[in-house]
Amino acid sequence: MSEKKKQQRWYLGGVSACMAVCFTHPLDTIKVHLQTQTEKRSIPQVVSSTLRTNGLRGLYSGLSASILRQGTYTTARFGFYEVARAKVQEEGKPLPFTVKVLLAGAGGAVGILVGNPADVVNVRMQNDMRLPASQRLGYRNVLHGLFNIATKEGPGALFKGLQANIPRSMMINIGQVACYDQAKQTVMGLGMADNMATHFLASFIAGTVATFLTQPVDVVKTRLMKGTGSVSVRSVVSEIARSEGVFGFYRGFIPAWVRLSPQTIITWLFLERLRVMFPPV
């Protein structure tokens, strides 16, 4: 009888992402503020205004939703990729990059179906801090937000922005997971060891690629989710193109890159360490 092939523990990706988001959440908050602002402000102005109005707590608004999002969304998308890769990969042979892209894209689609509700709450809690007190939704935490949305707007509102979120999630998983896998394989093929320097370089490349792929969809997704009214993807895209031009789709690109690159790097550094601590079974 052939020996059962060992595979990585599928849930470690979600654990590492939850750990990473505790460091990078303020950057995500700044990105959301930049994407949803009506007047043009720089990153220092957004940070200064948030700290002045709400203190340090303002930068961590929505952290509970962000952790739940990573615990559902990233666990599902990383886990899908790990399990599917183990099924199709032949022992000792690397997967073709095209197969990695297909698996990562599918994993991203599966992940966002699980994680979209927490994502809606996360965006609203982050956006709340920049609004006047009379206009705030006032979610105390992620569970309070989920309950309020489901009871006041209906369960379907928890999947607001899903049209934009599915392609975004597919592209971010291609960037973060497939590109990391390929970059790590490439740099190790050039003679680098399987160590922290290799993990850092591969994750830096992956984070940069993921930002370029996802930023336009991320802008549309954020504007779809921030409000309680009914708007379509087409109307949001048309409004951005008409009023802001093509660069409107890359509003907040620098903070998005500054957020996503560290998020990707820290996630993979944690994940590679967890893989050593908890080897394949």
Task: Kindly report the pTM of this predicted structure.
Answer: 0.80
Report how far apart the first and last C-alpha atoms of the chain are (Å, whole number): 18
Give the tens place of pLDDT for each residue, 18-47.
999 998 888 877 877 776 666 677 778 878
Closest CA to 83 of 25, 8, 144, 190: 8
Residues in the chain: 281
Q: Are 160 and 224 in contact (CB under 8 A)?
A: yes
Are 67 and 122 within 8 A, CB to CB? no
State pLDDT tens for residues 72-111. Answer: 999 999 999 999 999 998 887 889 999 999 999 999 999 9
Tell me the per-residue pLDDT of 180-232, one tens digit each, with 9 for 90 and over. Answer: 999 999 999 999 999 999 999 999 999 999 998 888 887 887 777 665 565 77
**Do 109 and 101 meet the contact criterion of CB atoms below 8 Å apart?**
no
